[in-house]
A and B are shown apart, each in its own frame.
Chain A
Amino acid sequence: MIFTVIIPLILACFVPLLSKIKEKIHTGIFVFFIPFIIFLYFIQFIGSDFSPIAKTYKWIPSLGINLNFYLDGLSLLFVLLISGIGALVVLYSIYYLDKTERLGHFYVYLLMFMAAMLGVVLSDNVFVLYTFWELTSISSFLLIGYWHFNERSRYGALKSMLITIFGGLSMFGGFVLLSVVTGTTSIQSMIEQKDVILNSTYLPLILGFILLGAFTKSAQFPFHIWLPDAMEAPTPVSAYLHSATMVKAGLFLVARFSPIFSSYEWFFIIVSLAGIVTLCWGSYMAVRQTDLKAILAFSTISQLGMIMAMLGFGTKVAVFAAVFHILNHATFKGSLFMVAGIVDHETGTRDIRKLGGLVTFMPITATLALFGTFSMAGIPLPFLNGFYSKELFFESSLDLEGATTFASVLAQVIPYLAVFGSIFTFVYSIYLLFGTFAGKKHLDLLPKKPHEAPIGMLLSPFILVLGVVLIGLFPNLVNGTFLAHAAEAIKGAEIDQHIAFWHGFNTPLKMTLIVVGLGFLLVLTRKKWAGAYRVLPGKLSLNKLYDYILEKLDIVSQKVTQSYMTGSLRLYVAIILGVTLVVTFIVMLVTDGFNIQFDNLADVTIIEVSVVAIMIVAALATILAKNNVSAILILGVVGYGVAILFVLYRAPDLALTQLVIETVTVVLFLLCFRHMPKLRKRNETSGTKIVNIVISVGFGALMTLIGISAHSSKWFESISNYFIETSLKLGGGHNIVNVILVDMRGFDTLFEITVLGIAALAIFSLIKLKRGAK
Chain B
Amino acid sequence: MEIIILILAGILFAAAIYNLLQKQLLRIIIGTGLLSHGAHLFILTMGQLKRGQPPILTEGKSDYADPLPQALILTSIVISFGVTSLLLVLAYRAANENNTDDMAQLRGDENE
Contact = CB atoms under 8 A, between A and B. Distances in A.
A448 to B, nearest CB: 47
Given A577-B17, A622-B15, A700-B17, A759 B23 contact: no
A512 to B, nearest CB: 63
Interface stretch (A11-19, A107-115, A433-441, A720-728): A720-728
Given A568-B103, A642-B37, A718 B6 contact: no
B9 A741 contact: no
A501 interface: no
Contacts of B25: 676-677
Interface in B71-107: 71, 73-75, 77-79, 81-86, 88-93, 95-97, 100-104, 106-107
Contacts of B42: 703, 707
A574 B17 CA distance: 9
Dominant secondary structure of chain A at its interface with chain B: helix
Given A701-B10, A708-B3, A718-B47, A635 B34 contact: yes
Interface string A639-681: 1001001101111111001100100110011001001110110
A696 B86 contact: no
A710 interface: yes
Nearest to B95: A677
A749 B17 contact: no
Chain B interface size, under 10 / 10 to 19 / 20 to 34 / 35 or more: 35 or more
A650 B53 contact: yes
A759 B82 contact: yes
A720 B67 contact: yes
Contact of B64 (A609, A638, A724): A724
A623 B15 contact: yes
Contacts of B97: 771
A620 B30 contact: no
Contacts of A616: 8, 11
Given A679-B26, A699-B14, A759 B86 contact: yes
Contact of B82 (A568, A697, A756): A756
A661 B65 CA distance: 23
A492 to B, nearest CB: 60
Contacts of A684: 23
Contacts of B92: 672, 675-676
Interface in A412-452: none
A704 B6 contact: yes
Contacts of A720: 47, 66-68
A642 B40 contact: yes
B36 to A, nearest CB: 9
A272 B101 CA distance: 70
Nearest to B13: A700
A518 interface: no
A162 interface: no
Contacts of A763: 85-86, 89
Contacts of B33: 635, 638-639, 665
A760 B88 CA distance: 12
Interface string B36-80: 011011101111111111111110000011111011011101110
Nearest to A691: B21
A696 B18 contact: yes
Contact of A619 (B12, B74, B108): B12
A676 B101 CA distance: 9
A409 interface: no
A598 interface: yes
A256 to B, nearest CB: 49
Interface in A576-612: 577, 598, 601-605, 608-609, 612
A737 B23 contact: no
A631 interface: yes
Contact of A736 (B57, B79, B96): B57
A654 B9 CA distance: 17
Contacts of A601: 1-3
A669 B26 CA distance: 9
A602 B46 CA distance: 13
A696 B15 contact: yes
A748 B7 CA distance: 29
A764 B45 CA distance: 36
A632 B67 CA distance: 31
Most central of A693, A699, A710, A724 by chain B CB within 10 Å = A724
A650 B11 contact: no
Contacts of B89: 672, 762-763, 766-767
Contacts of B2: 601-602, 708, 711
B82 A574 contact: no
Given A628-B26, A763-B86, A734 B8 contact: no
Given A661-B77, A679-B27, A752-B79, A703 B13 contact: yes
B1 A608 contact: yes
A759 B85 contact: yes
Given A651-B55, A703-B42, 18 more contacts: A568-B103, A601-B1, A619-B34, A638-B12, A654-B77, A669-B88, A676-B101, A677-B100, A696-B14, A703-B10, A704-B9, A707-B42, A710-B46, A734-B56, A735-B56, A736-B67, A740-B71, A748-B75
5 contacts: A628-B26, A672-B92, A697-B14, A727-B67, A752-B79
Interface of A: 567-570, 573-574, 577, 598, 601-605, 608-609, 612, 615-616, 619-620, 622-623, 628, 631-632, 635, 638-639, 642, 645-646, 648-654, 657-658, 661, 664-665, 668-669, 672, 675-677, 679-680, 682, 684, 692-693, 695-697, 699-701, 703-704, 707-708, 710-711, 718-720, 723-724, 727-728, 734-737, 740-741, 745, 748-749, 752, 755-756, 758-760, 762-763, 766-767, 771
Interface of B: 1-27, 30, 33-34, 37-38, 40-42, 44-58, 64-68, 70-71, 73-75, 77-79, 81-86, 88-93, 95-97, 100-104, 106-108, 110
Counting from the closest, the 9 A-B pairs by CB-CB distance are A700-B14, A704-B10, A759-B82, A696-B17, A567-B107, A696-B18, A650-B65, A736-B67, A740-B71
